[in-house]
């Protein structure tokens, strides 16, 4: 069993610049593979959000006055500490979140990359100078921090999907209030609080308030919070967008996906199936970029489905904390029940169960469904489970129509031996990210990341997009001699 011992300053606490009691009491940290309690974490209320925002307002002004060199140094120190504490972070990711070890290690490495990239942001050019039609006037246009950024992060990649907002927001002079999901409040919250505190970040610049819907709603509505960065479901994202829009608050939404992998008749089927299995079954399919729909040319559909099922059957399901497995538990019973419902409904509607389909507690077998039609649950819904639904097409136009039968537009993949053909198909797809001869679960820290349609509001994370997301712009004009106007 992986060791998660060590100092637990966070037991029953929230982080308001220091570990303090939350007004919402405390909840158990539950291991999804066993149902065992791993500890207790404090729960923040709307009153805790009020206090945190008040502290952050003062801290942010001082933090913004810190030199860019010092801010970068603190972030680099945090990255170094993350490497030193890799075993601790990975162990919690495995036990608290059900991650297999390779997924946890990849997430930690990607998080390190995000912090290091963010550390380079403060030294980048932060404005432009424009000419003026008025003699003697100087026009400068600069970027300034948004102020307080509220980050609401999910449970599936809790470390990476928190830090991709937290790190650049801090680097650019903002204060951050992070609300991790209660199902991942240690991996994606408490451990980060200690990390940045130990790296020398001034108190109250970064605060961690674990909580459920009430806490998130209070953060979104708080007038002192100037921006919300949310990663999660489309339904919740729509509500956040309405609230932020009503208060003219900046917001960035990275939402759900029902991502297609399109397989043309000339594709390398073995390679396509390898990509498909990874895209559908990695982290039990609990990824917004999961390959949720397999749209396959009828001429190769039987071969594709057979080979995909063979790969699915070889995957070992079990507790990643004690065994070497490919597929761990779903995050909780509610999610396992949801995946089972989608599979059962689709089979009842006429889909063929090729392999899998069985649930054992929070574990669900890697599943392949054939003859899935657009009206079926497995095609329409974001599954968030280890299920690969296969739908056939007879023409490129039909394939494009099937892709667009979903309101989502996060990620897609196209497989063909002809890159020019695959690129032509990609150009017709409404998707924020498209990968040719690869799978849908792709992330590179320096490339802007985000979706279209119901998958987001146009916000992007990564590389130069971070500067746009976590700053606002200001025009300052100056002239030595005041202008004399006609009246």
Distance from C-alpha of 455 to C-alpha of 253, rounded to nearest angstrom: 8
Dmax (CA) of the chain: 83
DSSP 282: G
**CA nearest 220: which of 158, 161, 163, 150?**
150
Answer for the pair 471, 146: CB distance below 8 angstroms, yes or no.
Answer: yes
Q: By the 8 A CB rule, do 469 and 168 touch? A: yes
Q: 3-state class of 436 per DSSP?
A: strand
CA distance 171 to 173: 6
Q: Determine how many CB atoms are found less than 10 A away from the CB of residue 22.
A: 24
Which of the following is catalytic: 31, 96, 254, 381? 254
**Catalytic residue check, 288:** yes
Residue 162 token pair: 């928190």
Dihedral, 277, 187, 458, 393 alpha carbons, nearest 10: 10
Within a 10 A sphere around the Cβ of 419, how many other Cβ atoms?
12
**Catalytic residue among 288, 381, 382, 469, which?**
288
User: If residue 267 lies in a helix (H) or strand (E), which one and from where to where?
Assistant: none
Specify whether the CB–CB gap between 279 and 333 falls below 8 A: no
- Give the span between the Cα atoms of 326 and 93, in whole angstroms: 15
Q: Which residues are catalytic?
A: 254, 288
């Amino acid at each position: 069993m992986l060791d998660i011992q060590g100092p637990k300053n966070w037991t029953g606490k929230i982080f308001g610049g220091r570990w303090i009691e939350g007004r919402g009491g405390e909840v158990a940290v539950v291991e999804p593979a066993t149902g065992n309690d791993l500890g207790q974490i404090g729960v923040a209320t709307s009153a805790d959000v009020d206090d945190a925002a008040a502290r952050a307002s003062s801290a942010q002004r001082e933090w913004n006055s810190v030199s860019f060199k010092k801010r970068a140094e603190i972030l680099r120190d945090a990255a170094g500490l993350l490497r030193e504490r890799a075993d601790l972070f990975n162990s919690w990711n495995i036990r608290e979140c059900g991650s297999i070890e390779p997924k946890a290690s990849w997430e930690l490495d990607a998080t390190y990359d995000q912090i290091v990239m963010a550390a380079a942001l403060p030294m980048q050019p932060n404005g432009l100078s424009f000419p003026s039609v008025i003699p003697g006037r100087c026009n400068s246009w600069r970027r300034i921090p948004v102020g307080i950024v509220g980050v609401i992060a999910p449970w599936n990649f809790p470390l990476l999907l928190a830090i991709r907002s937290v790190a650049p927001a801090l680097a650019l002079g903002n204060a951050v209030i992070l609300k991790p999901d209660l199902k991942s409040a240690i991996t994606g919250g408490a451990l980060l609080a200690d990390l940045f505190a130990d790296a020398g970040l001034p108190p109250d610049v970064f605060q961690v308030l674990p909580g459920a819907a009430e806490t998130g709603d209070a953060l979104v509505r708080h007038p002192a919070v100037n921006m919300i960065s949310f990663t999660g479901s489309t339904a919740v994202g729509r509500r956040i967008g309405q609230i932020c829009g009503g208060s003219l608050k900046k917001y960035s939404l990275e939402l759900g996906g029902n991502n297609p992998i399109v397989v043309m008749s000339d594709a390398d089927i073995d390679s396509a199936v390898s990509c498909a299995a990874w895209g559908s079954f990695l982290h039990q399919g609990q990824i917004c970029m999961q390959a949720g729909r397999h749209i396959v040319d009828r001429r190769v559909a039987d071969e594709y489905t057979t080979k995909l099922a063979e790969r699915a059957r070889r995957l070992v399901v079990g507790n990643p904390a004690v065994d070497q497995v490919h597929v761990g538990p779903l995050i909780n019973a509610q999610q396992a029940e949801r995946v089972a419902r989608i599979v059962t409904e689709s089979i009842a509607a006429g889909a063929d169960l090729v392999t899998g389909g069985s649930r054992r507690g929070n574990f669900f077998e890697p599943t392949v469904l054939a003859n899935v039609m657009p009206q079926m649950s497995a095609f329409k819904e974001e599954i968030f489970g280890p299920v690969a639904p296969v739908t056939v097409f007879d023409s490129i136009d039909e394939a494009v129509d099937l892709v667009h039968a979903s309101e989502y537009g996060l990620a897609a993949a196209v497989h063909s031996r002809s890159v020019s053909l695959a690129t032509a198909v990609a150009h017709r797809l409404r998707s924020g990210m498209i990968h040719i001869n690869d799978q849908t679960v792709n992330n590179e820290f320096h490339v802007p990341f985000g979706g279209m349609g119901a998958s987001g509001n146009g916000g992007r994370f990564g590389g130069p997009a971070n500067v746009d997301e976590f700053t606002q712009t200001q025009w300052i004009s100056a002239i030595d001699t005041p202008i004399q106007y006609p009246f």
